[in-house]
Amino acid sequence: MSKYDTILFDLDGTLLDTSKGILKSVDYTISKMGFTDIPLEKKKKFIGPPIQVSFQNTYNLDLKKANMAASVFRERYSTVDLFEAELYDGIIDLLNYLKLHNFKVGVATYKREDYAKRLLEKFKISKYFNCIEGSDFEGKYTKQDIINNCIKKLKNNKDEILMIGDTENDKIGADKVGIDFLAVAYGFGYNRNNSCNIFYCNNPKEIIYYLKQKN
């Protein structure tokens, strides 16, 4: 019997490469709000965390201005750029493996929950998940909150749950909840050169191998 019977996935950078759509909406918001343009590497840091937090930290905004920027971003993203994304190679095979072996599977993402559900339906993978939990409309949930929302829905023991994600935020959330974490190196956040004591998978096929080793 596998050590894990429940797998939780981050979305951006783990299931889907959503960078194209997010960066387009970031550019639109910067222009619309009259902000100074920033290098691409800084823009990439907007992928993952709550969008108002990214604008607030990047431009040293007060809460009101940060929420204005977030509103501009969300209007653009939800109506124009949301589906500018693609599945990572091997994700369908991974999800089929989990289904075949009777894992419970959930999504715990900082992306607003309605956006997450629309994306997963668009790419025809929502059927693989027992629960899909995302950020609230105000962006007040922490990653810990979102993971806990999944666990409440799935009603599983924490020592049987594995969180899979691509950023430090995913690991911090998993650690705070008290569940194991597995990093993927193909997403937006983790780099083998600057993180230690973390097990990495380079692609979804390696995730399957990792899970088999836990049998």
Dump pLDDT digits (tens) for 116-131. 999 999 999 999 999 9
Cβ pair 9, 165 in contact under 8 A:
yes
Q: Give the percent of the chain with pLDDT over 70.
A: 94
Q: How far apart are CA 154 and CA 105, in angstroms?
A: 9
Cβ pair 73, 29 in contact under 8 A:
yes
Ordered structural domains, the chain, with CATH: 6-17+85-213 (3.40.50.1000), 19-81 (1.10.150)
What's the pLDDT score for residue 14? 96
Report the mean per-residue pLDDT for the chain: 92
Tokens in use for 193? 């050169």
Q: Is 192 helix (H, G, I), strand (E, B) or coil?
A: coil
Buried b (16+ CB within 10 A) or exposed e, 108-120: bbbbbbebbbbbb
Average pLDDT rounded to a whole number, residues 11-27: 96
How confident is the model over 68-119, as pLDDT tens digits? Answer: 999 999 999 999 999 999 999 999 999 999 999 999 999 999 999 999 999 9
